[in-house]
Chains A and B, each alone.
Chain A
Amino acid sequence: MNKTVNQKAWFLVLPVLILVGFSAVIPLMTVVNYSVQDTFGNNVFFWAGLDWFRDMLESERMWNALGRQLVFSSIILAIEVPLGIFVALNMPKKGFWASFCLVLMSLPLLIPWNVVGTIWQIFGRVDIGLLGYVLAKLGVNYNYTQNVIDAWATVIIMDVWHWTSLVALLAYAGLQSIPDAYYQAAKIDQASRWKVFRFIELPKMAGVLMIAILLRFMDSFMIYTEPFVVTGGGPGNATTFLSIDLVKMALGQFDLGPAAAFSLMYFLVILLISWVFYTVMTNLDKRDGV
C-alpha cells in the first residue's frame, strides 16, 4: 500500500510517544544508570564502569538461569508447535462446533497468570489435586515441590495447557484462509493427506506459524508468574528462570548494579528477537497487502 508522505502525522503519534516514553525510556535509563554505578548505601553512588557487566558475564548464576531458560523455551516450543498444528487440523471448519471449540480453547489464554499457577498448584497436589492423586494411586512417586524432574514436568505441562491454544488458534486462522479450490485441485491430483499438508497447508500457514513461534518464544522467555506460583523457582534453583532470578536479585536482595547489568543484557536479547519478529511481520504484511 502506498502511503502519502505527511510529516504532520507526527502530531498524531505524539501522545503515544510521550506516554510510552514516560513508562519505558525513563525506567530504562534508571537501569542503565544503576548498571554502571556502585553504592555503599545512603544513596551515595560512584562510577563502576563496565564492572557489573563483566561480573555478570562471569557469574555462573546467570549462565545457569539462561541455560534453564533456553532448555525450557525449546521444550515448550517443541511440544506446543506440533501439537497446536495438529489440533488446528482437527478443528471443525465452521458452524456451532467451530465456535464452541474456539471459545473453550481460548479460555486458558484469558485466565490471570497467577491463577494459572494456582490451578496447577492445586491440581498437582498429591492430597487434594486430581493429577497428583491419580498419579499417587498409580504408584508414581510424584511430588513437584521436592523432585526436580516432577517440578519441570509440572511447569512444562502447565505451559502446554496454557498456551498451546494460541498456536492452534493462529494455525487455524492460517488454515481458514486457504481457498477450497486448492483442496479440490489436490483431490483431482489424488494427493495423499500428507502431501496436502506438506504442499498446501504448511506453506499457507508458514507466515502465521512464524508469528506463533516467535510469540511463544518471547513470552516463554519472560515467563515469571506461573512457575513462581507453582514452584517458587525451586526445588533449589531448578525452575528459576531468567525473570525469576532477576526479580530475586533486584527486589529480593536489592543488588542493584548486577541486576541492572543483567536486565540490560536480557533486554538486548529481547531486542534481537523483536527485530526478527518485526522483519517477519513486515514481510508478511507486504505479501498480503499488495
Chain B
Amino acid sequence: MSDATTSAPGAASIPGDVSAAEPRARSRRRFRPNGSMIVMALYLLFLMLPIYWLLNMSLKTNAEILSGFSLWPRNLTLANYEKILTDPSWYMGYVNSIIYVTMNTVISISVALPAAYAFSRYSFMGDKHLFFWLLTNRMAPPAVFALPFFQLYSSVGLFDTHIAVALAHTLFNVPLAVWILEGFMRGVPREIDETAYIDGYSFPKFFVKIFMPLIASGIGVAAFFCFMFSWVELLLSRTLTSVDAKPIAATMTRTVSASGLDWGVLAAAGVLTILPGALVIWFVRNYIAKGFALGRV
C-alpha cells in the first residue's frame, strides 16, 4: 500500500497546496504567484540587494559614487577592475590567497582521508575522545589562537610565508574534512571493503583504486569546504602575514583605513573575492547543508 501512495502524483508538494489542485491545473497556474513564491522572492531580494549594490559600485567611477545617488551605473566603467588586475600590490593578494588556500586544501584532505576511514570503519582505543577533540578544534575561536600562532610561526621562521597560513588553517579545516568525509564514508557498505580484501587487494591499493572513486563526491565536497573556510578567514591570515604572503582580505582592510575614499576599487575587489564561491556553487548546491553541518544531515 505504501508503495502505491508514495508514487502518487503531486504528492511531493506541501499539503496546503495539494488540497484542490489537479496536476494539470497546477502546471497551468505555475506562474501565478502564491504565498510561498512571494516569501521566497522577498527573501532572495533581501539577500541579493547588498550584493547588487557592491556590484553596482564596482562599475562606477569614484566621482560618480561620491557625486550623486543612482540605482545603476550611468557611466559604466571597468576601470576599477583594471586597476586591480594590473597593480601587483592588488592582484598579488589574490595570488597569495589562492596559494595558501590550495596548499591548505591539499594538506587537509590528504591527512583527513585515512583518518576518516579509520573513524568510519574501526573502533579503537580513545576513538570517541579523539573525534570529540577534533570537533573542539573546529569550534575553537581563531581569536584565542591568533597570538600563539604569531609567536609559534615567528619562532620557527615561517612568519609571512604561505605555508604558515596553510598550516594555521588546518586547525579548523582538518577536523572539518574528517567529519565531512566520515559522514560520506559511513554511507558506503562495509561489504565492499571485505570483498576487496578477499580479492587480494592490499589496503593502499584498495583505498586508492576502489574506495576513493566511491566517495569522490564526498572528497569534492570536503575539498570545497576546506577551500571556502580558508578563503573566508581573515583574522589568522592577517596576523600571520605582512608583505610576501598578504592575502587579499588584508589588502582590502588596509585600503579602507588608509584612504577611505577609493570605494570603487574596494567594491571591485570585494566582487572578485565572491567569484570563486559563485563559480562552483552550482556543482555543490545539493551538499551545502551537509557540508556546513559537518557531514551530518
Contacts and interface: CB of A to CB of B under 8 A. Distances in A.
B40 A90 contact: yes
Interface in B184-237: 186, 228, 231-235
Contacts of A42: none
B103 interface: no
B170 A23 contact: yes
B297 A23 contact: no
A229 interface: yes
Contacts of A105: 43-44, 47
A228 B16 CA distance: 44
Given A5-B124, A266-B144, A184 B8 contact: yes
Contacts of A15: 111, 114-115
B246 to A, nearest CB: 13
Contacts, number: 305
A119 B91 CA distance: 20
B53 A130 contact: yes
B5 to A, nearest CB: 5
A254 to B, nearest CB: 9
A1 B189 CA distance: 10
Contacts of B290: 173
A90 B33 CA distance: 12
Contacts of A120: 50
Nearest to A223: B141
A111 B36 CA distance: 27
A251 B15 contact: no
A246 B143 contact: yes
A186 B54 CA distance: 46
A144 to B, nearest CB: 14
Interface string B36-64: 10011001101111110110010000000
B97 to A, nearest CB: 9
A170 B293 contact: yes
Interface in A211-264: 211-212, 215, 218, 221-222, 224-225, 229, 242-244, 246-247, 250-251, 256, 259, 263
Given A112-B231, A173-B297, A181 B2 contact: yes
A215 B292 contact: yes
B112 interface: yes
B76 interface: no
B263 interface: yes
Contacts of B5: 180-181, 184
B297 A170 contact: yes
Nearest to B277: A110
In terms of DSSP, what is the predominant structure of the interface of chain B? helix
Interface residues of B, number: 105
Contacts of B167: 19, 22-23
Interface in A90-115: 90-94, 99, 101-115
A20 B53 contact: no
A211 B122 contact: no
A267 B289 contact: no
Interface stretch (A48-56, A74-82, A161-169): A161-169
A23 B146 contact: no
Interface string A257-284: 0010001001100110111011001001
A129 B53 contact: yes
B11 A184 contact: yes
Contacts of A161: 46-47, 50
B151 interface: yes
17 contacts: A9-B124, A15-B111, A16-B112, A24-B145, A26-B152, A87-B43, A90-B40, A93-B12, A104-B44, A110-B228, A112-B231, A113-B232, A119-B270, A130-B53, A180-B12, A215-B292, A229-B253
Interface of A: 1, 3-10, 12-13, 15-17, 19-20, 22-24, 26-28, 30-31, 86-87, 89-94, 99, 101-115, 118-123, 127-131, 133, 161, 165-166, 169-170, 172-174, 179-181, 183-184, 186-187, 191, 193, 196, 208, 211-212, 215, 218, 221-222, 224-225, 229, 242-244, 246-247, 250-251, 256, 259, 263, 266-267, 270-271, 273-275, 277-278, 281, 284-285, 289
Given A183-B14, A208-B297, A256-B147, 16 more contacts: A3-B123, A20-B137, A89-B14, A92-B36, A104-B44, A114-B252, A118-B266, A118-B270, A119-B270, A123-B50, A166-B292, A247-B146, A250-B146, A270-B136, A270-B139, A278-B135
